[in-house]
Amino acid sequence: MNRETKPVPGALAKMEESVARDPLRPETPAELVDEELREAGGDPERIRRDGGDLAKLLLERRRTILRDRAKADLGARREKAERAPRIPRDSREFLLRRIAEIERDPRYGGQVTAMFRNRAIAETSNDELATLLEEIEAARLADEER
């Protein structure tokens, strides 16, 4: 309430009374709502139809907004992945050293552990190791931007 507004005596009681007789409660029969709408000059069928159309429109808008957000998010993720440095695939020693460094990092070590849960690092190709490192670097970039 701003300083210029003065409380109206009995306003709260009037609001509580209005809510108590509100015909739009879930337990109120539709026939009673229709009757009150007609008494007030409304057309219950038209109101239902217009309400249904509005609900469809709002759901479609929501879907569009969510789809647009998802596209933007995907685009941003792809851009970050493209900015991640490419890992050289020719030096196995370099790849293994980087994997060992990342394993000690509590933020990203779990990814390495998960990849090698059912197989040894020795069974992994240089391309697989480099791809894992690139994915981790992309995640690191994304985390730094937050």
Q: What is the DSSP string of 12-72?
A: HHHHHHHHHT-TTSTTS-HHHHHHHHHHTT--HHHHHHHHHHHHHHHHHHHHHHHHHHHHH
Is the same domain home to 139 and 94?
A: yes
Is 144 or 57 the better-scoring residue by pLDDT? 57
Show which of 76, 95, 122 is a domain's final residue: 76
Instruction: Say how many domains are in the chain.
Output: 2
Residue 5 lies in a domain: no
Radius of gyration (C-alpha) of the chain in whole angstroms: 31
Residue 36 lies in a domain: yes
Give me the pLDDT at residue 64, please.
95
Could you tell me the two tokens for 32?
A: 């009673």
Task: Give the confidence band of 146 by pLDDT, cuts at 50, 70, 90.
Answer: low
Is the same domain home to 68 and 91?
A: no
Residue 130 lies in a domain: yes
Give per-residue pLDDT as tens, 18-70.
667 665 677 778 888 888 888 888 898 998 999 999 999 999 999 999 999 99
End-to-end CA separation in angstroms for the chain = 37
User: Would you say the pTM of this structure is higher than 0.75?
Assistant: no
Find the domain containing 33 and state its range: 13-76
State the Cα–Cα distance between residues 73 and 42, nearest whole angstrom: 45
CB-CB contact of 141 with 80 (8 Å):
yes
Most confident stretch, 4-13, 74-83, 100-109, 112-121: 100-109
Residue 4 lies in a domain: no
Judged against a pLDDT cut of 50, whether residue 2 lies above it is answered with: no
Is the same domain home to 95 and 135?
A: yes
Show which of 76, 95, 111 is a domain's final residue: 76
Is the same domain home to 107 and 140?
A: yes
State the Cα–Cα distance between residues 17 and 116, nearest whole angstrom: 67
Residue 127 lies in a domain: yes
Judged against a pLDDT cut of 70, whether residue 5 lies above it is answered with: no
Residue 22 lies in a domain: yes
Residue 81 lies in a domain: no
Is the same domain home to 66 and 101?
A: no
Show which of 76, 102, 130 is a domain's final residue: 76
Is the same domain home to 18 and 64?
A: yes
